[in-house]
Structure 1
């Protein structure tokens, strides 16, 4: 039983008296009720997945999900091009601490494991495990209960590290080394080609907006943010017998929006939220000069809203126009794959107080 299942059982079996009292005495900004920090103009907002939110809240949350990643026509040198299919599992822990009505802290820790589904996918991409976290501060800049409007500033940074299991460099080295044996690989330096250490450091900041649309049913959220990332891979170089640093830097501008509809006022404790994220920017690859970034992501979630302090939902998402992967052709020159497809499904559980 994973962390999400345990937390779900605890949340659904929490004392009902507290939830009933909250429904009888709706939270408000002066009285400091449990979910008042995400309520505007009579609408209780859901926290989106493709962006942060404009609210200063105390919460703890868990997200578990699977990722399917398909890359058509990835060039892998003399072996030609292969269609890559990867499957991954991710777990994320979210935390928020409300220090005052206008100031709070946020953070998250996450881990993801993925592996190739086919022989060609495992040869080209192998398997990987990544773990890391990020955190920062949220400052409320504007709060107008009369119009149902809130604007906040978020800033923070993060770090992620992990290891990739790679077969393709080892196979290429075996082809280029006549007479090599399994014993010599295990005892010698070629075995170092199997593992590649990776790390990434990020800083980010942006403005986040929430607007109630004149009814308890509808709510709109939007954001504009910028992120800067520094990524390092450390593959083994058999020519020198050492690991080398291969650095990638990226600047990303994210524009996102989310529209939610809560049908609780009709006696149906369910809500829908559609999300959209557009990412533009520029990335400096190891093998190539600067490349432009231009991707879109969408998500649709169904949430249970029967308990005021609980956010429980199932969310499906997809990345549209994902950036092509960089491989090498038969002559060893950098070459791009076709457009990848990435689909996700997540279970979301968050308790706000």
Structure 2
């Protein structure tokens, strides 16, 4: 299997042969930043197009089909429209916090995006406490949402922000406990280490029933964490117009829009990494020929394929189930998911202690 660290080491050696070590590090940071932002934008545009097509499929429609073949350039056209739209200035708002909020949301999303191991040796940030860092930076986004709702000086945006705060803080508990369950099984908090620990079998298969329960809870909580249907109470159009970003326009609104889709990609990527082996091919113990054949498939193809399945499941949720009420949403977390998660964590600990996992 190809190791992308060969490419990154070659670039580092090349730059250091042309310039001083300090200048080489600066240039490398700039290149990494450009690649992150480019990947961020491309993935967001692709997901917007895919969501429109999936939505159309579930509703027996065609979806985008005019701009470009099969409508593939529709998202690009919408991006240019968003870039040139006027940012409407609202009276009686906290202008500084109103302008700061979308940047906090987008920075949180980009930092979490940089932790994802896309392929073998292809990862921007790889700490020994990578999971802890990922949970920390992804939690910053709620600050931007609360600031957006409060600084807009609008009762609908404030209600949407308060709903979003209650929802995201509640469901972060289930996400954290689900992740902790798999960290116990892997024995490391490094994302690359978690992937490598699944060389003999993906955790969804080797972790017994606790891994399956943790995966189901993670997908449900992750969907709620990203404010997507049927958990899109903060943006309930029938009640709150557009929720916490009602007063935003132009590129500021575009930041919230992009962050929602990239957060969905991040949730799907973490699910693929923790439960389905990340970029690790499917290996079956004792099947050496089969394992060698699987290794010929590039690691980035494995990763993107698994993420695509996770994203489809999340989209399937949105276009299948009706929106919950806020009391039903919080009841689901505090009365069902959280107790099940705590018991599941204890069950995983017993399986590890007694060596019952595969």
TM-score, length basis structure 1:
0.26
Larger C-alpha radius of gyration, 1 or 2? 1
Instruction: Kindly indicate which of the two structures has a greater share of residues assigned to strand.
Output: 1
Instruction: Kindly indicate which of the two structures has a greater share of residues assigned to helix.
Output: 2
Higher relative contact order (CA 8 A, sep 6+): 2
TM-score, length basis structure 2:
0.26
